[in-house]
Amino acid sequence: MNLIIDVGNTRIKTAVFEDSKCIHNESITKESFISEAVAIIKKYECTNAIISSVGSVNKSQIAELRAEINLIELDYNTKVPFVNQYATPKTLGVDRIALVSSAIASYPNKSVLIIDAGTCITYDFLNYEGKYYGGAISPGLQMRYKALNVFTEKLPLLKPSEIVELVGNTTEKSIHSGVINGIINEIDGIINQYRKKNADLTVVLTGGDVNFLSNKLKNGIFANPNFLFEGLNTILTYNIK
C-alpha cells in the first residue's frame, strides 16, 4: 500500500493507494499531522509514502515519518515520468509536478491541459511527446473575493454564489458577477487558446473548486478531484520500481 500526503496552503490531505486504485482518502489537521499519518500507515499496512508540500512541514516531522515508512519527499530533483522543459525547474511547484505526472499516466501520447482550481488557478501544458513546457498561474476563486475585500474600503467579503447574474443590480451581486463570470470566462478563454494550437487537446479540471466550476464551463473537460493524488502515486510508483 502507498500513502500519499499532500500538504497544501490550508490543509493536509492524505490518500491510500493499492496499486493504481485509491482506496481511502481523508484530510488531517496540521496539529496532529504525525500521529494521524502514523495511524493511517498502521491501519492500511503502508510500506511506501510520498509527501508533496506547498505548505509548511518542518524537518523533524519529515524525520518522524521516515522512521515509520520508506518516504519520498517530492522536489525538483525527484525522478518523474515526463520531460521537464520548464526554464526554471527549481521554482516549479511540487503540486504542478504531480499534476503533469498524472496527465502523462492517464493520457499517454496526448496533449493535455491541466487546470487546478485551488488557492491559485494553475494551467499546465503537456504535449503528446510527453514534454512539459509550463503554463500560467492566476488568483483562485476565494483569493479574488478576499482581494476585493482587503484592497478596498467598503466592499464586503462574500462566499461564492451558485446563482450569478451577468448584470448585478446590488453591490453583492456585482461582486459575484465579476468574480465568477470573470473566472469562468478566463478558464474558457484559455482553453480556447490552447485548442487553437492543439486540436486533439484533452482538458482536465481538478482542485478544491472543481465541483463548483465544472458545470459552469462551456468547454468539454474531464473533472477529476483526485488527479493530484493520482499523480503523486504515479511518481511514487515510478521511483520504487
List the one residue out of 34, 28, 24 whose CA is nearest residue 13.
28
Task: Give the separation between CA 5 and CA 85, rounded to whole angstroms.
Answer: 26
The number of beta carbons lying within 10 Å of the beta carbon of residue 40 is 19
What letter does residue 24 receive in the DSSP assignment? E
Of 6, 95, 116, 209, the active-site residue reads 95
Is 95 assigned a catalytic role?
Answer: yes
Task: Give the separation between CA 228 and CA 95, rounded to whole angstroms.
Answer: 7
Residue 160: Cβ-neighbour burial (10 angstroms; 0-12, 13-18, 19+): middle
Residue numbers annotated as active site: 95
